[in-house]
Amino acid sequence: MILLQKWRKNQLFSPFVIELLIIMFIVEFVKGALLITILPVYMKTGLGASAFIIGWTLAAQYIGDNVLRTPVGWIIDKLGYRTTMLTGVLLTFVSVILMATTSQYIWMIVGCTLLGFGTAPLWPCVITGTTEVAGEDGKATIMSVVYMAWLSGVGLGPVAINFFVGENRYTIAFRLLIACMTVVVLVALMLPRKSSVGIEKAVTHAKPEKAPLVERVSAYLGEVRRSLSVSPLMFPAMFAQTFALGILTPILTLYAKEVLKLSSFEYSMFLVAGGAVTVICLVPMGKWVDRRGIRPFLITGFTISAAALLLFTYAKSMTILYVLVALLGVGYAFIIPSWNALIASAIPPEKRGAVWGFFLTIEGLGMIIGPIVSGKLWDVYGYHAPFLMSGSVLVLLLVLQMFISIPKKGMVR
């Protein structure tokens, strides 16, 4: 048993896992640059769109992503990683080219939707593959590594792209994003066709079924139903957790540019203040969660993050704002590994792809509805409202998680 655990730890940075993390980082870099920096500012200043319209445009990406997440999980189990991921990154590549070559509003929406379709396989592939490698005793650690790659991409994308965006000039920025997607396609070609954890038969893959499609779909839905033995509160909690994040997506840049009047460099430092803290803290937090349990980290994380968001727009100085941003980063460093370890504990190991896909679909709904609600709150009630709503949702989650049972160590199914 000890030898197996040591082997799994060594496999955390196998070529397979590294390939998945590279794809995660670069794709999220491109998404962060587009959704957080380029599109909100361009649509507001260049196209004169309202915050509500911008929210709907960004929601189109999350809708496209979410529609395919559940079937993508099933496809991973049947077709493997290379086919699934390669299809996704090629669609993402096309979406970036489309947005880079058009200035018409309708094609921006089409491009965002296509971006969602293309990125749909990303999280199911990466989470399924990495948790398969990590095993049951390393869930929080590997989820910390995955989220570190995600946050590094999401954080660096908006920061780095600011240095390539001129005054209403986006040509160089789009060329950079297209180059990034070229690298992603090449890396995706290196992925194994099937599971690649290093030990043959470590995970059994079913032979191609000869049963009718209806029976196969029924069997899949049966697997999903078996996952519902977890607390019913888990599902609204999964939605609320991403809804709180989704609220912030379309208005962070607008708040920095229109309310705080930050320059591109100042806004980049603003993002770094929170993102860097989260990235630095993630892996140590993941290890502590694996050793000490989930609940204390959830309570601490939701408390710190909620307080930072509720106070955010009432801060009177930039120093206090930077402190609140850093606290928000610390709070999410507590939340991310503990929350995802909680979700992973409910995943049957024999069907990780299918059930992860289903759970990610529920979480994705929060990222669809959040930006829409956020834009409306901004237009109708002002810039305070989205931040207050996001903080209030985290307070609700703080209470809700108290009633969700958490498996004890060694009792994960």
Contact criterion met (CB below 8 Å) for 114 and 64: yes
**Considering the chain, what percentage of its residues have pLDDT values greater than 70?**
77
Instruction: Write down the architecture of domain 11-192+227-403 according to CATH.
Output: Up-down Bundle (1.20)
Encode burial over 22-41: b for 16+ CB neighbours within 10 A, e otherwise.
Answer: bbbbbbbbbbbbbbbbbbbb
pLDDT score of 180 more than 90: yes
pLDDT confidence bin for 194, thresholds 50/70/90: low
3-state secondary structure of 166: strand
CB-CB contact of 165 with 268 (8 Å): no
Q: Which residue has the higher pLDDT, 189 or 257?
A: 189
What pLDDT is stored for residue 1 in this prediction? Answer: 44
User: What distance in Å separates the CA atoms of residue 238 and residue 240, rounded to the nearest whole number?
Assistant: 6
Provide the pLDDT for residue 186: 92
Query: What is the Cα–Cα distance from 292 to 409, expressed in whole angstroms?
Result: 9
Asked whether the predicted pLDDT for residue 226 surpasses 60, the reply is no
- Dihedral, 134, 135, 140, 144 alpha carbons, nearest 10: 20
Domain ranges of the chain: 11-192+227-403
According to DSSP, residue 46 is labeled I
> Which of 12-26, 122-136, 243-257, 377-391 holds the top average pLDDT?
377-391
Each residue of 86-144: pLDDT tens digit?
888 999 999 999 888 877 777 888 888 899 888 888 877 887 777 676 665 566 667 77
- Unique residue bearing structure tokens 């399924």: 128
Q: Which of the two residues, 291 and 350, has the higher pLDDT score?
A: 291
Mean local confidence (pLDDT), 267-279: 77
Model pLDDT, residue 234 = 82
Q: Give this prediction's pTM.
A: 0.66
